[in-house]
Amino acid sequence: MDRAQKEKVVEELGQIFDSSGVVVVAHYEGMTVAQMQDLRAKMREVGGSVRVAKNTLTKIALEGKPCASMAELLSGMTVLAYSEDPVAAAKVADAYAKTNDKFAILGGSMGGEALDPAGVKAVASMPSREELIAQIASCIGAPASNIAGAIGAPASNIASILKTIEEREAA
């Protein structure tokens, strides 16, 4: 890899650290190509990506970034899992680590905060952006549903009373 290619990789990594909601660092030593492809596919499903890069280039890309303390995690065979959604990559990485003992989470960063493995698990347990939007929508819709039910209730009560009276007269 010549100098221009290294500079391009450093620039790409810098963009990853700037634009990603969460970055998870993990060891992947001993994983097969098929296992790595499976991880990449699962990450793609949630809008994330997996990147393997030289630790020295990654450390250079981290210089001056809010998550620069993450550089201490970069030793050995490391892989970066990242996504714009602040929770998606952590969820996939945590789930994958449970099923594959060769994939070990070292930590990561969320925004400018460095995360240890327990921090990554905590982020993974948070609801995703879509789940939060659904919860907010249900909270917004609940009062309107209650109002509609309250408005319709008297008419429903009157209708049931009239039906009962009609049934009594018919009998």
Mind listing the pLDDT tens digit for each residue in 99-129? 988 999 999 888 778 888 888 898 888 877 7
The answer on 97 and 17 residing in a single domain is yes
- Domain of 165 in residue numbering reads as 127-171
Q: Are residues 119 and 136 in the same domain?
A: no
pLDDT tens sequence across 34-48 = 999 999 999 999 888
Number of structural domains (the chain) is 2
User: Which whole number is the average pLDDT over 65-79?
Assistant: 84
9: how many CB neighbours lie within 10 A of its CB?
18
Q: What is the pLDDT of residues 23-34, one digit of tens each?
A: 899 999 889 999
Question: What average pLDDT does range 65-69 have in this prediction?
Answer: 80
pLDDT reported for residue 96 = 92
Q: Which of the listed residues 111, 126, 141 is the one where a domain comes to its end?
A: 126
Nearest-angstrom CA–CA distance, 118 and 106: 9
Q: Are residues 84 and 158 both part of a single domain?
A: no
* pLDDT recorded at residue 163: 80
Structure tokens at 36: 């790595």
Residues 102 and 143 both lie in one domain: no
pLDDT greater than 70 at residue 67: yes
- Verify that 133 and 120 share a domain, yes or no: no
Q: 97 with 134, same domain?
A: no
Name the band, by pLDDT with cuts 50, 70 and 90, for residue 94.
Answer: very high
Rounded-to-5 percentages of helix, strand, coil across the chain? 60, 15, 25
Is the same domain home to 98 and 78?
yes
Residues 50 and 79 in one domain: yes
The verdict on 109 and 148 lying in the same domain is no
Q: What residues contact 123, with CB distance under 8 A and at least 6 apart?
A: 22, 86, 87, 90, 110, 115
Q: Is the pLDDT of residue 148 over 80?
A: no
Same domain, 37 and 115: yes
Is the pLDDT confidence value at 144 over 80?
no
25 shares its domain with 93: yes
CATH of the domain at 62: 3.30.70.1730
94 and 135 belong to one structural domain: no
